Structure 1
C-alpha cells in the first residue's frame, strides 16, 4: 500500500484514504468530500483524522489508512505502518462494538461517554491489516 503521498484522497468506492507515516515532520491537509470537511494531520509519530471538526481516527505511531468507510453501524479500513499501532476511533457514546482484525475477532469493546474506542493492531512486517468495527 505505502503511504498516502497526497495525505488524503477520495477513492472510487466512496471511501477515503489518508496518512503518511514516512514523513519526518508533521504535515496537515484539509479536503472537502461529500459535503464534509476532512482534516488530516500525519507524520511518523501520529496520524489523526477529523470530520467537520469532530474526532474520527488517531494512531500512534503514524499509519497509512486505505478505504476508510463509515456506515451507520460499522467502520472498515485497511491500515499499514512500520510497527504495531494503537488506534483510537470516534464512535457512539456508551455502545458495545465487535472488532475484527484481519477477519479474526479481537473481542467486544464498549465505549464510554466520550465514544472513543481503542484497539491495538500488530503491523510489524505485514503489508496491510484489515480492521472492521461493528455495533453489537
Structure 2
C-alpha cells in the first residue's frame, strides 16, 4: 500500500482511506462528504487526524496512512503504515473494553475513558499492519 495522495478517499468497498505521512507541511481536507456525514482530515509527517461530523475518529502520531477504515457497533478495522511506531487515539464508546488485535495476534485490551477515548501503539517499522478493535464481551 502507500500514502493517500488525495489525503482522503472512499474505497470501492465503502471503507475510508486517508493520510499522507510523507508530506512535510500540513494538508487538510474539510467537509469531505460520505453518505451525508462530513469528514475532516489533517495530515503530514507529524500527525494524521480524522474527524466525522466534528467528532474525533482516529488520530495517529506521528503521521500515518490508514487504509480501509471500517467501523460498526462492535468492531473497528483498518491497516496502518508509517515510518515509526505509531501512537493511535480513537474515540469509541465510553467505559467500554476493546481487544486490540494486530496482524491476527491479540496484543491486549484497552478501555474507553469517560469520553470514549482509547490509546494504543502499533509498531510499523517492518511494514504495514492490520489492526482490529473488538468489543470485549
Would you say same fold, with TM above 0.5? yes
Hey, what's the Cα distance between the residues in 2 that align with 1:125 and 1:131? Answer: 15
Structure 1 gaps, min length 5: none
Partner of 2:91: 90
TM-score, normalisation: structure 1: 0.97
Quote the Cα distance in structure 1 between the aligned partners of 2:104 and 2:126.
18
**In the alignment, what sits opposite 2:40?**
39
Q: Is this contact kept in 2: 1:48–1:59, CA < 8 A?
A: yes
Which runs of 4 or more aligned residues in structure 1 lie more than 3 Å from their structure 2 counterparts after TM superposition? none
1:52 and 2:38 correspond: no
- The CA RMSD measured in Å over matched residues stands at 0.7
Structure 2 unpaired stretches of 5+: none
CA displacement at 1:14 relative to structure 2: 1.1
1:69-124 Cα shifts (integer Å, max 9, x gaps) = 11111110000001111001110001011110111001121111011111110001
State yes or no: 1:69 paired with 2:70: yes
Identify the residue that residue 133 of structure 1 maps to in structure 2: 133
> Which residue does the alignment assign to 1:107?
108
Cα offset, 1:125, TM superposition? 2.9
TM-score by length of 2: 0.96
- Residues of 1 paired with 2:112 and 2:55: CA distance? 16
Which SS does the other structure have where 1:83 is aligned?
Answer: coil
Asked whether the 8 Å contact 1:48–1:58 carries over to 2, the reply is yes
Number of aligned residue pairs: give it.
Answer: 135
- Contact map agreement 1:87 1:118 (CA 8 A) in 2: yes
